[in-house]
């Protein structure tokens, strides 16, 4: 069954369950699409070989990338082990025992396929049968043009699917070293930006030194503590169904707030200032230090918002639902490294938050990644060890969706290798392929990368209008991924 996308755009998309059937359909074909054997026979032969040769894959880390990878491989019929140290040991950001845990925001960013590269990547993943997208679509909470989820439902969905999956064995285990090069089984390391210390040290030693940057998360407040007499609901430009709570500030309130933010005490100030911070996760106090008006043209911009009297406020903080029940809201764009009492003091200066109950304060974390251009091939395998793969944020893709996508892509490539099929290649005109290209192309100033239209191969023709250009890029990308998905290979 072909299903409509979450956004109802039609086209050929597959659920993760359909993936399994599709994997079978691509057996027994040559690179030019001709049949070399009956698909059923070729599939059985390949599985027999996997079984006879006792081929297994061990996926280390059951976050976004690892869950995608393990599910895809196991569904393809490859015996797969998924090892995560949770719940015995937790990273500083993980709190739960479930797989696919979202450690910070509950937003998977834009769901707009034709205007946003992350929206486009989501659609590419849906076409490939992504478990993450299936879980996100099943646990979505209203969030305007963004795809935000009830984080508990989201990770419970992923966990249930993994636990019920044939060919998949789940282990609770902290892995402390990379496998030997002589190791027969395949391994995908998807231990994320907060990889536990022993393994991180081993990876660093064997891949020529780990890199890191710092990343911050935003606080969450309880819904009942928001003063709605000083706030109004609505989405920017009226898009969506009034999902955000908007907390306006007058000119005087705005500058008083910025001044307090600038003088507030930061945690680990000394340590932090020596480090690089990823631009997309910049703490609000650092943004404010770039100029007193920076926030009202950025995180606190009022454009497209009108209060109850139809007036545009001077500045607005938006709050987004954290869960389907709407009992908790996060402060959009307010990732911070302020000390906890300072967060309460300063953020409570926003009138609607004057009595806010902080359910969780924002925190700043180390974020580790390898120098992928030196270490990885385009298919996420390690250059000097074809049985070892990396996936997720540790490869230098940045973001929930990008991390999950890399797990899915690594699994697609590894399944082709194990089954001896022509490798599927995602071109640079797709977000998937462009991210693969980014992490594996020579780059001495390698930095983590979000999905964005700038990394896609340019269109052959010049389209000046940005909206039209993005649409043309998206249409080309989707056609390309669909071809790959349906044909089973490209070249
Ligand atoms: C604090 C923080 C906040 C972030 N906020 C956002 C955000 O709001 N939005 C966004 O798009 N991205 C965010 N990111 C970036 C990134 O998208 C997430 O970290 C994402 O979860 C990465 O996915 P992953 O699968 O690579 O790793 P993870 O989801 O972190 O999964 C890694 C898994 O590996 C396990 N593990 C670690 N070491 C070992 C070991 N040695 N043995 C066994 N298991 C191990 C962990 O328990 C974990 O389950 C944030 C990152 C951090 C660190």
- Assess whether the C-beta atom of 104 lies below 6 angstroms from ligand 1: yes
| Beta-ladder partners of 360 | 220
- More reliable by pLDDT, 308 or 187: 187
315 and 295 in contact (C-beta within 8 Å)? yes
**pLDDT, average across residues 177-193:** 92
- Assess whether the C-beta atom of 64 lies below 6 angstroms from ligand 1: yes
* pTM assigned to the model: 0.75
Phi and psi for 7 in degrees, rounded to 5? Answer: -85, 5
Å from CA of 140 to ligand 1 middle: 20
401 and 109 in contact (C-beta within 8 Å)? yes
Q: What's the pLDDT at 210?
A: 61
pLDDT of 71 strictly over 90: yes
> For the chain, how long is the longest CA-to-CA vector?
75
Q: Give the Cα separation of 20 and 75 in Å (integer).
A: 5
Q: Give the Cα separation of 103 and 124 in Å (integer).
A: 24
Task: Report how far apart, in Å, the C-alpha atoms of 189 and of each of 72, 185, 215, 222, 343 are.
Answer: 15, 13, 21, 37, 36
User: Which pLDDT tens digit goes with each residue over 384-399?
Assistant: 899 999 999 999 998 9
Say how many CA atoms lie within 13 Å of 187 toward its Cβ: 17
Query: What is the dihedral sign for C-alpha 296, 300, 303, 309?
Result: negative
Lowest model confidence (mean pLDDT) among 39-43, 62-66, 325-329: 39-43
**pLDDT, average across residues 35-39:** 49
276 and 214 in contact (C-beta within 8 Å)? yes
Å from CA of 393 to ligand 1 middle: 7
Residue with tokens 């359910």: 359
Q: What's the pLDDT at 2?
A: 33
Q: Give the Cα separation of 165 and 228 in Å (integer).
A: 45
Å from CA of 410 to ligand 1 middle: 17
DSSP state for residue 377 in the 8-state scheme? -
pLDDT band at 8 (very low <50, low <70, confident <90, very high): very low
250: Cα separation from own chain's centroid: 35
Q: Give the Cα separation of 467 and 113 in Å (integer).
A: 12
pLDDT band at 455 (very low <50, low <70, confident <90, very high): confident
* DSSP codes, 86-106: TTTS--SS---SSSS---S-S
Given ligand 1 and candidates 92, 187, 335, 403, which is best to mutate, with the most ligand atoms within 8 Å of its CB? 403
Say how many CA atoms lie within 13 Å of 477 toward its Cβ: 36
- Residue ID of nearest Cα to ligand 1 atom 30: 192
Phi and psi for 87 in degrees, rounded to 5? Answer: -90, 5
Q: What's the pLDDT at 491?
A: 25
Two structure tokens written together for 115? 């205007």
- Assess whether the C-beta atom of 66 lies below 6 angstroms from ligand 1: yes
307 and 239 in contact (C-beta within 8 Å)? no
**Atom of ligand 1 at shortest distance to CA of 91?**
47
pLDDT of 485 strictly over 90: no
- Assess whether the C-beta atom of 402 lies below 6 angstroms from ligand 1: no
Two structure tokens written together for 213? 């940057």
312 and 248 in contact (C-beta within 8 Å)? no
Say how many CA atoms lie within 13 Å of 5 toward its Cβ: 23
Å from CA of 297 to ligand 1 middle: 30
With left for phi above 0 and alpha for psi between -120 and 50, is residue 438 left, alpha or beta? alpha
- Assess whether the C-beta atom of 220 lies below 6 angstroms from ligand 1: no
Two structure tokens written together for 275? 């480090």
Residue with tokens 């920017």: 236
Given ligand 1 and candidates 174, 194, 216, which is best to mutate, with the most ligand atoms within 8 Å of its CB? 194
Two structure tokens written together for 1? 């069954």
Given ligand 1 and candidates 192, 395, 403, 408, which is best to mutate, with the most ligand atoms within 8 Å of its CB? 192
Å from CA of 101 to ligand 1 middle: 8
- Assess whether the C-beta atom of 159 lies below 6 angstroms from ligand 1: no
Domains and CATH numbers, the chain: 16-213+368-487 (3.50.50.60), 220-362 (2.40.30.260)
Å from CA of 429 to ligand 1 middle: 27
- Residue ID of nearest Cα to ligand 1 atom 13: 399
pLDDT band at 132 (very low <50, low <70, confident <90, very high): very high
């Amino acid at each position: 069954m072909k299903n409509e996308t979450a956004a109802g755009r039609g086209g050929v998309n597959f659920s993760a369950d359909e993936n399994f059937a599709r994997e079978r359909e691509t057996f027994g074909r040559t690179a030019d699409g001709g049949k070399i054997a009956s698909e059923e026979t070729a599939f059985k032969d390949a599985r027999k070989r996997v079984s006879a040769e006792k081929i297994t894959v061990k996926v280390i880390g059951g976050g976004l990338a690892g869950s995608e990878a393990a599910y895809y491989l196991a569904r393809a019929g490859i015996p797969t082990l998924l090892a995560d140290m949770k719940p015995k040991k937790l990273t500083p950001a993980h709190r739960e025992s479930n797989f696919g845990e979202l450690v910070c925001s509950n937003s998977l960013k834009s769901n707009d396929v034709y205007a946003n590269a992350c929206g486009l990547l989501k659609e590419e993943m849906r076409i490939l049968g992504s478990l993450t997208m299936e879980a996100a679509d099943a646990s979505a909470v209203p969030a305007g043009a963004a795809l935000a989820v009830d984080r508990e439902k989201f990770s419970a969905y992923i966990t249930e699917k993994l636990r019920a999956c044939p060919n998949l064995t789940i282990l609770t285990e902290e892995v402390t070293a990379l496998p030997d090069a002589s190791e027969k089984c395949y391994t995908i390391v998807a231990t994320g930006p907060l990889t536990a210390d022993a393994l991180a040290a081993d990876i660093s030693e064997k891949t020529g030194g780990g890199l890191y940057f710092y990343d911050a998360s935003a606080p969450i407040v309880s819904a009942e503590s928001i003063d709605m007499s000083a706030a109004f609901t609505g989405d920017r430009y009226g898009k969506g169904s009034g999902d955000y709570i908007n907390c306006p500030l007058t000119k005087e309130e705005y500058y008083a707030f910025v001044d307090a933010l600038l003088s507030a005490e930061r945690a680990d100030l000394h340590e932090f200032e020596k480090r690089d911070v990823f631009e997309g996760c910049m703490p609000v106090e650092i943004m404010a230090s770039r100029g007193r008006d920076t926030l009202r043209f950025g995180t606190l911009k009022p454009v497209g918002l009108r209060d109850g009297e139809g007036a545009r406020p001077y500045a607005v903080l938006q709050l987004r639902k954290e869960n389907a029940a709407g009992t908790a809201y996060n402060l959009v764009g307010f990732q911070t490294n302020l000390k906890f009492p300072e967060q309460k003091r300063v953020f409570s200066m926003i009138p609607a938050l004057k009595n806010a109950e902080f359910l969780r304060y924002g925190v700043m974390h180390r974020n580790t990644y390898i120098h992928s251009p030196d270490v990885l091939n385009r298919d996420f395998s390690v250059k000097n060890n074809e049985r070892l793969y990396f996936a997720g944020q540790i490869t230098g893709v940045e973001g929930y969706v990008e991390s999950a996508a890399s797990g899915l892509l690594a699994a697609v490539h590894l399944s082709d290798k194990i089954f001896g099929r022509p490798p599927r290649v995602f071109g640079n005109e797709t977000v998937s392929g462009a991210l693969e290209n980014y992490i594996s192309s020579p780059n001495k100033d390698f930095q983590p990368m979000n999905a964005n239209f700038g990394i896609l191969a340019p269109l052959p023709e010049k389209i000046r209008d940005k909206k039209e250009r993005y649409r043309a890029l998206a249409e080309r990308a989707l056609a390309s991924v669909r071809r790959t998905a349906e044909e089973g290979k490209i070249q």
